[in-house]
Chains A and B, each alone.
Chain A
Amino acid sequence: MSDSIRAICMPKWGLSMKEGTVAAWLMDVGDEISSGDEVMDVETEKISSAVEVSESGILRRLVAEEGQILSVGALLGVLANADVSDADIDAFVTEFQANYVPPADDEEDEGAATETVEVGGRAIRYLLRGEGGVPVILVHGFGGDLNNWLFNHEALAAKRAVYALDLPGHGVSAKDVGGGSVADLAVIVHDFMAALSIETAHMVGHSLGGAISLKLALDHPDNVASLTLIGSAGLGSEIDGDYLAGFVSAERRKDLKPHVEKLFSDPALVTRQLINDLLAFKRIDGVQASLEAINAAFAPGGNQALVLRDKIGDLTVPVMAIWGAGDQIVPASHAEGLPDNVRVEMMAGQGHMVQMEAASEVNRLIDELIG
């Protein structure tokens, strides 16, 4: 019987998260929950978000109380079918709590530390989670870093090795971006695969990272097992050039915030900490020049320089385009009229950072495509 009882646990969003504060339950006991539903708001030092469940069932027990601070992995609530008795749920909760051990303080060093690999004279930082299978490589967009995947990385790594990297000029990778074009960056990502002896990978790219992944797949079809493009560049010339220019030029919080808000369907997700983290990144020596170089090569004059729309039909591996219908950076219309080999998933009410704001659904779609 206990197989049909599922725990909802405190998620781990990003490397530094050790605990979260239960802000509010969004569902009540007795509510029918489907995979992807948001059940609770959780706040951390870095980010506030909703806990999405990846399973279905009836919410039978609210274990965590609002205002409580709980460690990663702690029991928040219990899902089960209607025919499970309350006594069985009590027993499940008792057993879970008896066996639960909060992560040790040094776990970050042992389990989830980033590594660095030398790629063509550049230090490239990456984070590897999971093991086995055909690996996934997550490629972030312009101005982002591997933390853009904090709601996806762990979930996708349940079944296979998943790499997320910092592109040159981003995160803590080397500042030298070479020519800075999509083609240049695709060569670097391909060299990254070679440096780590990754023969074949499922490529998942967001925005600029989508264009890079698409270019890599077209140039090296044998090294790519599938391609997932999220709010991707490379499928049309239009892009919000004001966003790109504004992101590059903003030096202060109040200048940067309105640009970053365009990324999300819910601007409240743009916390002070998020802006501070972006400013801290932009203020590191060399970053400004890297961003300017990429912007100049990627979208000169506010239009994408490389459009690969006509070639995407040549790909023989599974290809999927996921788009937030309300994407304000790369228009969702770029997902229209693609060749039949491209599976298109248009997500209503979502924006450019759809992999963060609708993480469970995006993770499910990627799992489905990869198989």
Chain B
Amino acid sequence: MARNITYQQAIGEALAQEMERDETVIVMGEDVAGGAGAPGEDDAWGGVLGVTKGLYGKFGDRVMDTPITESAFIGAAVGAATAGLRPVAELMFIDFMGVCFDQIFNQAAKFRYMFGGKAETPVVIRTMYGAGFRAAAQHSQCLYPIFTHIPGLKVVTPSTPYDAKGLLIQAIRDNDPVIFCEHKALYTIEGDVPEEAYTIPFGEANVTREGDDISIVTLGRMVHVAEEAATALAKDGINCEIVDLRTTSPMDTDTIIESVENTGRLVVLDEANPRCSIATDVSAMVCQEAFGALKAPIRMVTAPHVPVPFADNLEDSYIPDAAQVQQAVLTVMGKNG
């Protein structure tokens, strides 16, 4: 039976249900059990945003606090995965991935290939991304395009509580390394989520709104920005179709092409920096596969090519908003003068 819970609760519930179902599932990361010197106390945090709160009490040593050494515990998680466990490692901010690229890019992503298909690495790395929290340039980036670039990794960017739970359970059951990207601004949003465990397959985009005039392909937090823009545009008689990618690797190219072939127009909305991003990737794919369907040039709405600013006013203008999406849609529709 579905009830209304937050994105944060949906993630915590997915972890608890999978740990209950499969004793090889372990959780590790900074403060995930409760913090230094106080593992599992009732008032313990459970990760920096409390997502894993309560797990230590239920599952004990299967929830491990790690030192503040991402390169070490991500390496340990990858190694544990090759040795038969299903670790879910929480790497607080996606910005910190830089110190453990080798463990992810050269080890986890490559084992299946380099051992002739005989090695499996069922590790999940949960991580927070995105701007809007006054957390400055080293704690606010959208780095999922970097992981999307690497064959051998699967990359997930849920936009709703329902998707977060189903995609995380799928990630844990998946036999390949998964980078599970959670947007900071989404933890408090609510939505209907079934109590039971369920999965959502990777590579299946979700059309969250149907429309005939223009396609907006987007992901993560930007799905909600697209909805806001589409609601405003509908009042002017412009019907947007919104495609939520859900996973950037694998990417559901069929649904994107099907939508663009129907509407003939495309705006790609991505919070990441503009170069080599999901926006450029989707645009290039559509140009190659569905150019004949396009009635107008594609527009990309992204953050600018600068680090995330710390000043409030600059950060606010950095993040793509509904007004920018509306302007882009009007431009593609030929209604902007």
Q: Determine the residue in chain A with the shortest Cβ distance to B1.
A: A172
Residues on B with C-beta less than 8 A from A253 are 204
Bound-state Cα–Cα, A272 to B255, Å: 13
Bound-state Cα–Cα, A280 to B206, Å: 12
Residues on B with C-beta less than 8 A from A286 are 196
Known A172-B1, A272-B210; judge A284-B204 contact (CB<8 A): no
**In this assembly, does A61 line the interface, its C-beta being within 8 Å of a C-beta of chain B?**
no
Residues on B with C-beta less than 8 A from A125 are 1
Bound-state Cα–Cα, A253 to B194, Å: 19
Known A252-B204, A253-B204, A272-B210; judge A284-B1 contact (CB<8 A): no
**In this assembly, does B76 line the interface, its C-beta being within 8 Å of a C-beta of chain A?**
no
- Taking a contact as CB atoms under 8 Å apart, the answer to whether A284 and B201 are in contact is no
**In this assembly, does A251 line the interface, its C-beta being within 8 Å of a C-beta of chain B?**
yes
- Taking a contact as CB atoms under 8 Å apart, the answer to whether A285 and B197 are in contact is yes
List which A238-296 residues lie within 8 A (CB) of chain B. 251-254, 272, 276, 280, 283-286
Question: Chain A nearest CB: distance from B137 CB in Å?
Answer: 39
Question: Chain B nearest CB: distance from A169 CB in Å?
Answer: 12
- Taking a contact as CB atoms under 8 Å apart, the answer to whether A285 and B207 are in contact is no
Bound-state Cα–Cα, A280 to B2, Å: 11
Q: Determine the residue in chain B with the shortest Cβ distance to A251.
A: B201
- Taking a contact as CB atoms under 8 Å apart, the answer to whether B199 and A283 are in contact is yes
- Taking a contact as CB atoms under 8 Å apart, the answer to whether B201 and A252 are in contact is yes
Bound-state Cα–Cα, A283 to B200, Å: 7
- Taking a contact as CB atoms under 8 Å apart, the answer to whether B1 and A280 are in contact is no
Q: Determine the residue in chain A with the shortest Cβ distance to B258.
A: A254
- Taking a contact as CB atoms under 8 Å apart, the answer to whether A285 and B198 are in contact is yes
Question: Chain B nearest CB: distance from A300 CB in Å?
Answer: 28
Question: Chain B nearest CB: distance from A257 CB in Å?
Answer: 12
Residues on B with C-beta less than 8 A from A252 are 201, 204
**In this assembly, does B166 line the interface, its C-beta being within 8 Å of a C-beta of chain A?**
yes
Bound-state Cα–Cα, A13 to B254, Å: 33
Q: Identify which of A114, A254, A283 contacts B166 (C-beta below 8 A).
A: A283
Question: Chain A nearest CB: distance from B71 CB in Å?
Answer: 36
- Taking a contact as CB atoms under 8 Å apart, the answer to whether A285 and B196 are in contact is yes
Known A125-B1, A172-B1, A283-B166; judge A272-B197 contact (CB<8 A): no
- Taking a contact as CB atoms under 8 Å apart, the answer to whether B207 and A272 are in contact is yes
Q: Contact flags (1/0) for B200-235 with A, using CB distance below 8 Å?
A: 110010110010000000000000000000000000
Residues on B with C-beta less than 8 A from A254 are 254
- Taking a contact as CB atoms under 8 Å apart, the answer to whether A284 and B194 are in contact is yes
Q: Determine the residue in chain B with the shortest Cβ distance to A254.
A: B254
Question: Chain A nearest CB: distance from B328 CB in Å?
Answer: 24
Bound-state Cα–Cα, A296 to B232, Å: 50
- Taking a contact as CB atoms under 8 Å apart, the answer to whether B196 and A284 are in contact is yes
Q: Determine the residue in chain B with the shortest Cβ distance to A286.
A: B196
Question: Chain B nearest CB: distance from A105 CB in Å?
Answer: 13
Known contacts A172-B1, A272-B210, A280-B194; can you find 18 more A-B pairs with CB under 8 A?
Answer: A114-B1, A125-B1, A172-B194, A172-B196, A252-B201, A252-B204, A253-B204, A254-B254, A276-B206, A280-B198, A283-B166, A284-B194, A284-B197, A284-B198, A285-B196, A285-B197, A285-B198, A286-B196
A residues near B, CB below 8 A? Answer: 114, 125, 172, 251-254, 272, 276, 280, 283-286
